Amino acid sequence: MKTLLKHLLLVVTATFACGLAADGQEQGTKSAAAQVPIIQMQNVPLSVALENLARQAAINFTIDSKVTDKISTPVTFRWENMTASNALVRLLKEQALFKVDNPQTGVSKVTATNSPPRVFDKELFNGSKEVIPWIQLMDAPLKVAVTDLGTKAGLKLDLDAELTSPSKPFKEQVFVSVRFENLTGGQALAAVCDQYNLQIAKSENGEVWRISRGK
């Protein structure tokens, strides 16, 4: 219980620090172009720092499942007169990580290599064109997350047995927590597939998208 309370306190402290730094100007905290007088976090998990900076910079992001071992690393810093976007890039550089922007999904992926963004079949985004103001998943089982996003995208999905069978340990241990703003369901689905290295391909009849674990 003490550990949980400590973590919650860190989350609140990190958010509060960034909020104060913007001098109470809501629009400034949401703009990647606005300089923040002070950005300060102390002994917070890397994932919390990234989430707060990305939110301040209005950046949708995911963390590559291959680098999840680093996200609990505690970080402490105090920077002055810097945009939240630049602070995010600086923090990633100090942690030997990269932000790879994907123009198709509108989501940046935090990864260990500065490789080109993944390219998806353009037809994946031909479902629902509705831009969803807010998409948030908190510790959702991966198969549940994918199914929900597929529904939002207006797509028929066929999930590989490894994604749905309780006897398969891989998916039983994966839980999705993401927060996206102003994306279509197709973009969000693609971003999560990219995050967890899932393959998504159209069936021969062109009506169903099959999702399976990548190699």
- 85 and 138 in a single domain? The answer is no
pLDDT recorded at residue 205: 81
More confident: 169 or 73? 73
- Regarding pTM above 0.85, the answer is no
Average of per-residue pLDDT values in the chain: 84
Which of 83, 111, 139 marks a domain boundary? 111
- 9 and 100 in a single domain? The answer is yes
* Per-residue pLDDT tens digits for 149-192: 999 999 999 998 877 665 554 444 688 999 999 999 999 999 99
Does some domain include residue 117? no
> What is the DSSP secondary structure assignment for residue 67, as one 8-state letter?
G
CATH number at residue 104: 3.55.50.30
- 84 and 60 in a single domain? The answer is yes
pLDDT recorded at residue 27: 47
- 130 and 107 in a single domain? The answer is no
Does 129 have pLDDT greater than 80?
Answer: yes
- 61 and 23 in a single domain? The answer is yes
pLDDT recorded at residue 8: 34
Which of 67, 86, 111 marks a domain boundary? 111
- 89 and 145 in a single domain? The answer is no
- 24 and 88 in a single domain? The answer is yes
Structural domains counted in the chain: 2
Confidence at 214, pLDDT banded by 50, 70, 90: confident
* Per-residue pLDDT tens digits for 20-47: 333 433 444 445 678 999 999 999 999 9
- 128 and 100 in a single domain? The answer is no
pLDDT recorded at residue 168: 54
pLDDT recorded at residue 134: 95
Q: Which residues pair with 177 in a beta bridge?
A: none
Does 74 have pLDDT greater than 60?
Answer: yes
- 101 and 158 in a single domain? The answer is no
Does some domain include residue 128? yes
Contacts of 164 (CB under 8 A, 6+ apart): 143, 171
Give the range of the structural domain holding residue 188, as residue numbers without chain letter. Answer: 122-213
- 134 and 90 in a single domain? The answer is no
- 137 and 173 in a single domain? The answer is yes
Confidence at 204, pLDDT banded by 50, 70, 90: confident
Kindly state the average pLDDT of the residues 64-88: 93
Which of 111, 130, 150 marks a domain boundary? 111
pLDDT recorded at residue 47: 94
The CA-based diameter of the chain, rounded to the nearest angstrom, is 56
pLDDT recorded at residue 174: 84
Which stretches within 22-157 are classed as H helix? 26-30, 46-56, 84-94, 142-153
**How many CA atoms within 13 Å lie on the side-chain side of 99?**
22
Kindly state the average pLDDT of the residues 108-120: 96
Does some domain include residue 116? no
- 107 and 140 in a single domain? The answer is no
pLDDT recorded at residue 31: 57
Does 72 have pLDDT greater than 60?
Answer: yes
Sheet with 157-159, strands from edge to edge, namely: 157-159, 209-213, 198-202
Does 6 have pLDDT greater than 60?
Answer: no
